[in-house]
Amino acid sequence: MFNNNARSRRHLQRSQPPQRSVRTQGRTQGRAANVQGWRSNSGMHPLTQIDENSRLLRYEQQVKQAFARIEPALRQLSAMQNETDFAERAQQVAKNALGFELPEVLLADSWVKPLDIGQLYAWCVFETFSQMSDDFFATKPLADANDGEFQHFLEQCGFHTLDVSPCADGRLAHVIRYVLRLPYKAVRRKSYAGAMFDVDDSLQKWMETEMLRYREGRPNQADSPTRYLKIAVYHHSSSQPDTEGCAAHGSDTQRAAEAALERLQDFRQAVENTFCCGASIDLLLIGIDTDNDVIRLHLPNADGEIDTAVHIDGAELYQATAATSGEDALGLVRQYIEDKSKTRGASLPAEGMLRLAARLLCGNISQIDYVRQYHNGCYQDIGHQECFIGMGIGFEEVQLRNLTYFAYLQTVEEGAKDVDVGIKIFTGLNVNRGLPVPVVIRNDYHGQVPGARARAEARCHQLGAALHKRHGDITERGLLHTLLMVRDCNADGRAEIIGSSLKLNRQEAH
Ligand SMILES: [Zn+2]
């Protein structure tokens, strides 16, 4: 599942640049300083942030490998289940391979009845995820020291909020922190199948945002000349366009782009119609090649209009600016964007949009090299390889590619399409091999709101019950398992487990 061959590890060691300050890593100013040492980028683009690439790789490997160890460990247990002292030996195997012990009840009586590998598998996935989640909130492995700097930058570009709706496909789950290199804390992310985000939900968020500006001057004063920027992210696969594109749009790239653009326009129309008086938002459409994380930027013209047929290609920009000195590269990126925008014969985007576009494309340059350095320029897992479905509201800690299929929803009925796409994907990945679909149901809540936690817990239970009912066939065959979690997002603490479908006490197990 994860490409970690010796060759790429050697490459990693070789490419460590000399005398690079950790403090400057990820900063715009730091980028300019780093650029002076561009010759150390050994075959990579002068703007690529090598330090950050190796830091992001370490995190990706650590998490992906933890999930990848589950199946081999369970195969080992399955092979030894008739041996004497099985339970004890199984715990030893689990501790060595996975770093945790298994519930005793799932190991008991293995000499008279076969091990319930399905329950063990779901339990291991849930345990691995909750350890990863705890670690994420406790140690902040993907924190960016520049969250504050980014908000300042955004406002200088004429925006106060960045709201991104990617497709729910797990191959886009790393879009914020990896593909675009943005601080995840400073960006709102909500994923939907086919990037078909909910206009009403976005309108609600827009109103909330504007209200906070009026009432509290957060993130900036209401009279500051900034706008809400909504981005939709669709995707395609350059190597297998007909089969590995967006499932929600029948792998049709043009349809995926047009549908996302239409949704963006609907949202803008909704804001303008609901709040006249000049209220509006800005829009941006991004496409991702999920083979290699190269982005396409569909920039708006001066009137804010986007054309799906016109885009700036991250790989072309990479090529056009790679053979320069570091000092010139930033200016060249900017020039390239302007030249490309002019060739379409339309007016240039607003200055702020151009600045933001340059930052996004520069971030993508690092990611293009990341995939080249560590994944030989194309991921091995071109198709779906998610480890679990994440359902509900939350999942800030999931910032990795192909780890989670998202289904953001309040009720199963409302998000039925997203849920069904997810179950279909996992039927191919797991059910057809006899393994269950692990679903983490999560509801984040605002701790300062009276009763919010109780409501979040109740919603988890409702979602769980509705999911098992909707997919009763696989539930009855023991091929659908759920873990329920809630998290106080105001306290910025860990997510707590409040229940699961696993039968972990002796009475239930019999
Ligand atoms: Zn999709």
Q: What is the pLDDT of residues 226-280, one digit of tens each?
A: 999 999 999 999 999 999 999 889 999 999 999 999 999 999 999 999 987 678 9
Q: pLDDT tens digit string along 476-510? A: 999 999 999 999 999 989 999 999 999 886 555 44
CB 106 within 8 Å of CB 119: yes
C-alpha 306 to ligand 1 mean position (Å): 20
**Topology (CATH level 3) of domain 384-509:** 60s Ribosomal Protein L30; Chain: A; (3.30.1330)
C-alpha 69 to ligand 1 mean position (Å): 27
Q: What residues sit around ligand 1, an ion, with C-beta below 5 angstroms?
A: 167, 169, 246, 248
54: helix, coil or strand? helix
Q: pLDDT tens digit string along 406-432? A: 988 888 888 888 899 899 999 999 999
Closest CA to 189 of 208, 171, 167: 167
Cα-Cα-Cα-Cα dihedral sign, residues 52, 55, 59, 61: positive
C-alpha 167 to ligand 1 mean position (Å): 5
CB 311 within 8 Å of CB 254: no
For residue 473, CA distances in Å to 117, 273, 431, 463, 480 come to: 19, 45, 11, 17, 9
**Topology (CATH level 3) of domain 147-375:** Beta-carbonic Anhydrase; Chain A (3.40.1050)
- Residues 116, 144, 169, 198: which is the catalytic one? 169
Distance CA 322, CA 347 (A): 27
Query: What pLDDT is recorded for position 134?
Result: 97
Tell me the average pLDDT across 391-406.
94
The per-residue pLDDT of the chain, averaged, comes to 89
How long a stretch of residues is the chain? 510
Distance CA 427, CA 440 (A): 16
169 is annotated as an active-site residue: yes
> Tokens 């996935």 belong to which residue?
125
Which sequence spans correspond to the domains of the chain?
Answer: 1-115, 147-375, 384-509
Check whether domain 1-115 has CATH 1.10.3720.10, yes or no: no
For residue 193, give both structure tokens: 């199948």
Query: What pLDDT is recorded for position 507?
Result: 57
**β-sheet with 496-500: strand ranges across:** 404-408, 388-393, 437-445, 480-488, 496-500
Residue 5 pLDDT greater than 90, yes or no: no
**Residue type (1 letter), 10:** R
Query: What pLDDT is recorded for position 342?
Result: 83
Tell me the average pLDDT across 333-361.
90
Q: Which residue has the higher pLDDT, 496 or 327?
A: 496
> Tokens 């992310």 belong to which residue?
189
Residue 290 pLDDT greater than 60, yes or no: yes
C-alpha 260 to ligand 1 mean position (Å): 11
Residue spans of alpha helices (H) in 398-471 = 416-429, 452-470
Q: Which residues pair with 496 in a beta bridge?
A: 486
Query: What pLDDT is recorded for position 18?
Result: 33
Distance CA 176, CA 178 (A): 6
Tell me the average pLDDT across 216-228.
94
26: helix, coil or strand? coil
Query: What pLDDT is recorded for position 40?
Result: 53
Q: pLDDT tens digit string along 442-456? A: 999 999 999 999 999
C-alpha 371 to ligand 1 mean position (Å): 20
Query: What pLDDT is recorded for position 464?
Result: 96
> Tokens 């993907």 belong to which residue?
142
C-alpha 408 to ligand 1 mean position (Å): 14
Query: What pLDDT is recorded for position 32?
Result: 37
For residue 157, give both structure tokens: 């570009």
**HSE-CB of 433 using CA atoms within 13 angstroms:** 11
Residue 282 pLDDT greater than 60, yes or no: yes
C-alpha 195 to ligand 1 mean position (Å): 7
Pairing mode of beta strands 282-289, 227-236: parallel
Query: What pLDDT is recorded for position 16?
Result: 35
Query: What pLDDT is recorded for position 35?
Result: 39
